[in-house]
Amino acid sequence: MSVEALYSEKVMDHFTNPRNVGKMEDPDGVGTVGNPVCGDVMKLYIKVKDNRIDDAKFQTFGCGAAIATSSMVTELVKGKTLEEAVGLSNKEVAEALDGLPPVKMHCSMLAEDALKSAIEDYRKKIVSSEQ
Amino acid sequence: MKIYLDYNATTPVREEVLELMFDIYRGDAANPSSIHFLGRQARKFVDEGREKVAAAIGAEPSEIVFTGGGTEADNMAIQGTAFALREEGNHIITQATEHHAVLNTCEFLEKHGFKVTYLPVDGEGLVDPAEVEKAIGAETILITIMTANNETGVIQPIEEIGEITRSRKVVFHTDAIQALGKIPFSVNDLKVDLLSLSAHKVYGPKGVGALYIRKGTRLRPLAYGGHHEGGKRPGTENVAGIAGFGLACELAAQELVESAAHLSILRDRLCGQISENISRVKLNGSPRLRLPNTLNLSFEFIEGEGILLGLEMKGIATASGSACTSGTLAPSHVLSAMGVPAALAQGSIRFSLGRENTVEDIDYTAKALVPIIQRLRDLSPFSEEDIN
Ligand SMILES: Cc1ncc(COP(=O)(O)O)c(C=O)c1O
Ligand code: FES
């Protein structure tokens, strides 16, 4: 008897073998966000070079969907310009994972918000170092 | 390897019960209300089921009403009392860690003009009987407090509360759905007037339950129809389900002492191995006043669904109190009421053991858990450094 999987194969892959895990030394930007719906937390670190995201890493306290979207977002943003990265939506991250169950869509907001917050952190730092 | 450690959610129907139910379905075309010989045979199955369920809890057969499950039994007890005694008062007392079958019924009644007191529990999940007594007022018509909790296994001081409700002459209901077959009790020891049971927690079929109604207790039915179940629960009886429930109760009562000893040894072995090999683990609920089969643990710095998925990939079925798995998006109301911080409630796993579990299952599970926890902690933004 086979049962329908909770998550797509891609989600399970990123949950079991998450990419770009851990704390980054000397990040250019850090975004820490909590999911107000469930209380889960994601921390995203970025390194920026010539206005492009050169590297990204994450740490996540959250469900399988939160871990998989965290992992996917770090993959998706690498090499993107900051303008492109800011425009990345949670839907695009979820689609890259072959979708999430409807009740788990809110989890992918963590990834979108953490990315936006890391970029904002980077931009603030640039502004204050230029002053 | 397939290991089931979620017996508090439901149990598989045991072989003896399955056979009896098959036999009844194969042979029985009759309605127990029919007076021909087939009808009388069906009636006999229902009567025997009733006797056996009654015997398991020290009740009279006439005090048992069969329902379509535990949820319906809770509803019948609470709504039934509230609407029957409406003229006498509008106040109900319950407590924070009840099953949603009780809590949501109370909330429904609040919308219909009843006042409900939700008593708090202490850090171990226990209600203080003195608080129950203090909460009783002139308007109080019903007190409903569960015998044992489904998430933590915590056993409430029902006998003590029963003394109080009896001397104050307030109707007392208990949801004993998780207690049945796991700890010994009788309706007279507990001094309850109403008690809910469910077959699928004791290796019986799903969708069958019972409400014990002490003689003389007034209830308004939830549904109207024929004369079945004394008019309290009309509708043609679920003959096979009722007979299966009866047999499951009889077998559970016979095996109770041995099974409780076996399960508590396995449960403590699991707890021992986990705490030996994994740091920062907390037990949720009273270590003493607890069902012998239940172990609810919080693993610091990580979230329960990840643990659940990791265990599932190893063939192990468990449950979590985390928001992520409940579909409600809030962490377990039971753990929250006990003052467990949200992050720890999120990282909780319930292991609930049952009759098929072996020492090998336990050792395999404890061993599988170590790398799962480690990996998720490596992913987590929280660590011991944040605390120290
Ligand atoms: C304590 C408690 N009450 C009520 C219920 C509901 O019972 P049922 O599933 O038979 O409706 C359950 C189990 O689901 C339970 O554990
Ligand atoms: S991030 Fe909390 S439920 Fe998924």
Nearest to A39 among B302, B306, B342 (CB): B342
Contacts of B323 in chain A (CB under 8 A): 37-39
Which regions of chain B carry the CATH code 3.40.640.10? Answer: 15-251
Kindly report the number of other CB atoms within 10 A of residue B173's CB atom. Answer: 30
* CB-based burial, A114-124: b 16+ in 10 Å, e otherwise: bbbbbbebbee
From the number of C-beta atoms within 10 Å of its C-beta (0-12, 13-18, 19+), residue B30 rates as middle
pLDDT at residue A3 tops 70: no
Contacts of B90 (CB under 8 A, 6+ apart): B113, B114, B115, B139, B141
Do residues A43 and A27 make contact, with C-beta atoms less than 8 angstroms apart? no
Inspect the interface and report whether the beta carbons of A61 and B302 lie closer than 8 Å: yes
Give the span between the Cα atoms of B353 and A70, in whole angstroms: 34
What would the pLDDT profile of B61-94 be if each residue is shown by its tens digit? 999 999 999 999 999 999 999 999 999 999 999 9
What would the pLDDT profile of A108-122 be if each residue is shown by its tens digit? 999 999 999 999 999
Q: Beta strand B115-119 with B91-95: parallel, antiparallel or unpaired?
A: parallel
Which regions of chain B carry the CATH code 3.90.1150.10? Answer: 3-9+256-387
* pLDDT average, residue stretch B291-317: 95
Task: Write down the ipTM of this complex.
Answer: 0.91
Q: Beta strand B140-144 with B91-95: parallel, antiparallel or unpaired?
A: parallel
CA end-to-end distance (rounded Å), chain B: 39
Q: Cα–Cα distances in Å, from B351 out to B7, B11, B311?
A: 8, 13, 11
What would the pLDDT profile of B189-204 be if each residue is shown by its tens digit? 999 999 999 999 999 9
Chain A CB within 8 Å of residue B331 CB: yes
Residue B211, ligand 1, Cβ within 6 A: no
pLDDT at A72: 97
Pocket test of ligand 1: the residue of B147, B151, B201 to mutate, having most ligand atoms within 8 Å of its CB, is B201
pLDDT at residue B330 tops 90: no
What mean pLDDT value characterizes chain A? 93
What mean pLDDT value characterizes chain B? 95
- Give the three-class secondary structure for B93: strand
- Give the three-class secondary structure for B291: coil
User: Known catalytic residue: A38?
Assistant: yes
Nearest to B309 among A15, A39, A106 (CB): A15
DSSP-assigned beta bridge partners for residue B350: B296, B319
pLDDT band at A38 (very low <50, low <70, confident <90, very high): confident
Task: Fill in the amino acid letter for B338.
Answer: M
Place of tokens 């172990």: B295
- Measured in angstroms, how far is the CA atom of residue A110 from the centroid of ligand 2? 8
Least confident of A76-90, A103-117, B135-149, B320-334: B320-334
pLDDT band at A129 (very low <50, low <70, confident <90, very high): confident
pLDDT band at B387 (very low <50, low <70, confident <90, very high): low
Residues with CB under 6 A from ligand 2: A 35, 38, 40, 62-63, 65-66, 104, 107, 110; B 323-324
Q: Beta strand B171-175 with B294-299: parallel, antiparallel or unpaired?
A: unpaired
Place of tokens 């075309």: B29
pLDDT at B325: 57
pLDDT at A2: 58
Contacts of B309 in chain A (CB under 8 A): 6-7, 12, 15, 64
pLDDT at B28: 63
Which has the closest alpha carbon to B301: B194, B382, B202? B382
- Measured in angstroms, how far is the CA atom of residue A25 from the centroid of ligand 2? 27
Using left for φ > 0, alpha for ψ between -120 and 50, and beta otherwise, residue B140 falls in beta
Do residues B49 and B200 make contact, with C-beta atoms less than 8 angstroms apart? no
pLDDT band at B39 (very low <50, low <70, confident <90, very high): confident
- Give the three-class secondary structure for A45: strand
Do residues A29 and A7 make contact, with C-beta atoms less than 8 angstroms apart? no
pLDDT at B315: 96
The CB-based long-range contact list for B106-109 (8 Å cut-off, 24+ gap) reads: B106/B78, B106/B144, B108/B79, B109/B78, B109/B79, B109/B82
Counted across chains A and B, CB pairs separated by less than 8 A come out at 66
Q: Choosing among B303, B312, B378, which should be mutated to test the A contact, i.e. which has the most A CBs within 10 A?
A: B303
Give the span between the Cα atoms of B151 and B9, in whole angstroms: 9
Sign of CA dihedral A16, A20, A26, A32: negative
pLDDT at A1: 46
Least confident of A3-7, B15-19, B260-264, B266-270: A3-7
Kindly report the number of other CB atoms within 10 A of residue B258's CB atom. Answer: 9
Domain B15-251 CATH (choose: 1.25.40.10, 3.40.50.170, 3.40.640.10, 3.40.50.300):
3.40.640.10
Inspect the interface and report whether the beta carbons of B330 and A38 lie closer than 8 Å: yes
pLDDT at B386: 67
- Give the three-class secondary structure for B5: coil
Domain B3-9+256-387 CATH (choose: 3.90.1150.10, 3.40.640.10, 3.30.1300.10, 3.30.470.30):
3.90.1150.10
Which has the closest alpha carbon to B22: B192, B208, B316, B239? B239
User: Nearest-CA residue of chain A relative to B309?
Assistant: A64
pLDDT more than 70, % of chain A: 96
Contacts of B307 in chain A (CB under 8 A): none
Inspect the interface and report whether the beta carbons of A39 and B306 lie closer than 8 Å: no
